[in-house]
Amino acid sequence: MSHDEKPLPTAPTLRDALGFWLKLGFISFGGPAGQIAILHQELVDKRRWISERRFLHALNYCMLLPGPEAQQLATYIGWLMHRTWGGIVAGALFVLPSLLILIVLSWVYMAYGDLPIVAGVFYGIKPAVTAIVVHAAYRIGSRTLNNAWLWSIAAGAFIAIFAIQVPFPAIVLGAALAGYIGGRLSPASFYPGSPHRTRHSTAATAAFIDDHTPTPLHARFRWQNLGVILLVGVLLWLIPMGLLSALLGWGHTLTQMGWFFTKAALFTFGGAYAVLPYVYQGAIGHYHWVTPTQMMDGLALGETTPGPLIMVVAFVGFIGAYTQAIFGPDQLFIAGAIAACLVTWFTFLPSFLFILAGGPLVESTHGQLNLVAPLTAITAAVVGVILNLALFFGYHLLWPQGFEGNIDRVSGLITLFAALLLFYFRRGVIEVILYCGLTGLATMLIPRQV
């Protein structure tokens, strides 16, 4: 051991890990990039539970999967350190605090949303959300669209969803096919650098799971283990879905939510914002569980609470069951809470299966993951789809009664204010939502002459 190299850290116990994962569930603000940065800072730099190279290898795999990559990365590292239960605990605690907070906030939103102080805050938040979605499209696009191939895929996705109303899963599959073909015709155009780069390399620093640490026995690939995990996963999906269908019927709101958010979990490649166009297509346009205004409010709540942004699905489930009073007018909160828990289950179950089933395959080869080209193409398509979502939000924000009504100039000004904070002053999302919420409150409470 050299003079500058730190000694090997003590092996973390499951209890140590449990305390950290619980803490992480309450501090994981900042969206996927912020959450991955927290994981890197805590696990690689501070605690040295895993080396940087092993951390990035796991991250690259999680980036290829549909669903929330930060939550999947936590699940992967928890599984690698402490077997299956370690992964389940890590992934569940990443989500549970956010679920509980969103259930409470969703109830407050529905029960007290008409109060002037609450209505004023949300009046300012909606323009902020519109600007945030535009900024997300810009941020992802500036990182991804670096050649004509990817610009063409993004433009094609935008036209497909805006003009032709092509379903989001079809756009994802089409983009993956384009990426597969493009990766063969022009490999350099579809193989960018690593999507996440850390500021400081710690490869030379000793870690509990180091670059050369042998793969633990539980993480080695076995066909028998893969079969057991897949069987258990299918049963964990089939049993609740079967009970819902048998007891309530296939057309019941809860059954349809389970089916819809299962599909959302399987098709939302490209990061947290990729789920939003799919949800607005289905939850707003087809099922009418939420309105465009409620969707923007839910996104704001998701941005300002810990946990993955995809947790906005819990808000959608709560509002849908609450407004439809699926258990009667006297049990609105119970209906909303059950729906929120249900959609969270169906949304995150595939994420656990991807890690527990695919982790041993990833650990068996610290080599190349050859699905980068389709993923790059899907991410490019997501840029176009998110831009369409921003236009959708902007239309409902500026013309709440449709084009035949008056334009909401105050909302337009707050949107410009939020865009200025994001693009020019580079303020964080939570800070922008706070400023815009206070601005909206002031505009609602101060008498205006219109």
- The structural domains of the chain, with segments of one domain joined by +, span 99-193+218-445
Q: Which two tokens stand for residue 6?
A: 């730190």
Q: Bigger pLDDT: 31 or 308?
A: 308
Phi and psi angles of residue 209, each rounded to the nearest 5 degrees, phi first: -105, 100
pLDDT for residue 203: 42
Instruction: Quick: pLDDT tens for 136-187.
Output: 888 878 878 889 999 999 999 999 989 988 887 788 889 989 988 988 888 8
> How many whole angstroms separate alpha carbon 320 and alpha carbon 287?
9
Q: Answer whether 53's CB lies under 8 Å from 211's CB.
A: yes
Instruction: Quick: pLDDT tens for 181-211.
Output: 988 888 888 865 544 444 444 445 678 888 7
Of the candidates 228, 218, 237, 271, which has an alpha carbon nearest to the alpha carbon of residue 76?
A: 218
| First CA to last CA distance, the chain | 73
> How many whole angstroms separate alpha carbon 435 and alpha carbon 124?
8
> How many whole angstroms separate alpha carbon 314 and alpha carbon 19?
25
pLDDT for residue 194: 44
pLDDT at 12 over 70: yes
Predicted TM-score (pTM) of this structure:
0.79
Instruction: Quick: pLDDT tens for 343-380.
Output: 999 999 999 999 999 999 888 765 444 567 887 888 78
pLDDT for residue 143: 78
